[in-house]
Amino acid sequence: MAYFLAVANRKGGVGKSTISVMLAHAFSAWGHKRVLLMDLDAQSNSSLILLGGSQWIETQRNSKNVAAFIEDRMYALNPIADYLVHNVGDVTDAQGRKPQLSLLAGSLAFEDMQDELITHYSRHNTPFRQAKLKCANHFKQALGFAAPLADVVIMDCAPGLSNATAAALTMAAKVVVPFRPDAVSEYAVDRIASIIEGKDYDGVMAIPPEKRRYICVANAVRPGGRDGTIIDTIAFNHPTLATQVPQSPDVANAFDWSEERQTMEEKYGTSITPLRELYQELLVSLGAV
């Protein structure tokens, strides 16, 4: 059965899709795992990185995306496998083979579909709070059907706290929280930690760091300056990987989709080193994968 890993932060622009795709590449190409990436963000950045624009448009036209799957589950029992795209991405493993990497593509209709789902469960004067609970259970059940199809399921969550994100945070065995080193991120990490652990700030701080269900990673780190101070402050209060993903042109360029597959080293250039360190350190943290 799959290990469910969520990548989440209530703040946007912190690199959730970047980290999600990096980990999907690493687990599939280096770890030789069957990996499924679920793009739960209507912006669909992970999907565009793994498919390119033309193929992503096909997933919208052919209703092979997360919005179509979740909506169809209201009326039918179509298996999640019908909505997946296989052999995605543009990397190879060390032997030149396609990694076992699949995608439940994102959709611009995903936010509208979530509103429709709330409406669906609000029929017959159902109280709103009860409808939201039914909506969350709908997501958990639907996404949970992926468990037999992969070794690792990575859920790229939208910023904020949508019903889909709330379900993903509940389902995940571990939540990776990327952050950029800025003042807003200090508060954002506090908030997402409280949501994940279901406790207020003091309650979260009372949990030993090694027993918390989340771990943070600093992304887009600039050498020198204030970044190091902010990272140290967050790491003092929250479990944080020692590995830092630098702000680098090679990181940005790695997410331009290519029609020709490349080795991981060709894909990531000089950023291959922090990616390998990130993957190896996270493996130690996850333990069970």
Q: Over the stretch 112-163, which tens digit does the pLDDT of each residue have? A: 888 888 887 887 777 877 887 888 888 888 999 999 999 999 999 999 878 8
Rounded CA gap, 152 and 27, in Å?
8
Q: Which residues of the chain have pLDDT under 70?
A: 288
Q: How many domains does the chain have?
A: 1
Picking from 235, 228, 193, 233, the residue whose alpha carbon sits closest to that of residue 213 is: 193
- Identify the helix (H) or strand (E) that includes residue 3: strand 3-7
- Furthest CA-CA distance within the chain: 59
pLDDT at 288: 63
CATH of the domain at 38: 3.40.50.300
Domain holding 127, by residue range, is: 3-286
- State CA 279 to chain mean position distance: 15
Residue labelled with tokens 């980290």: 19
pLDDT computed for residue 120 by the predictor: 79
Q: What is the DSSP string of 164-201?
A: HHHHHHHH-SEEEEEE-SSHHHHHHHHHHHHHHHTS-H
The answer to whether residues 89 and 35 touch, using CB atoms and an 8 Å cutoff, is no
131 to 114, 122, 123, 159, 168: CA distances (angstroms):
12, 5, 9, 22, 18
Q: List the structure tokens of 102.
A: 């699949």
Within 8 A by CB and 6+ apart from 280, the residues are none
Please, what is the average pLDDT of the chain?
A: 92
CA dihedral 232, 236, 241, 242 (to 10 degrees): 50
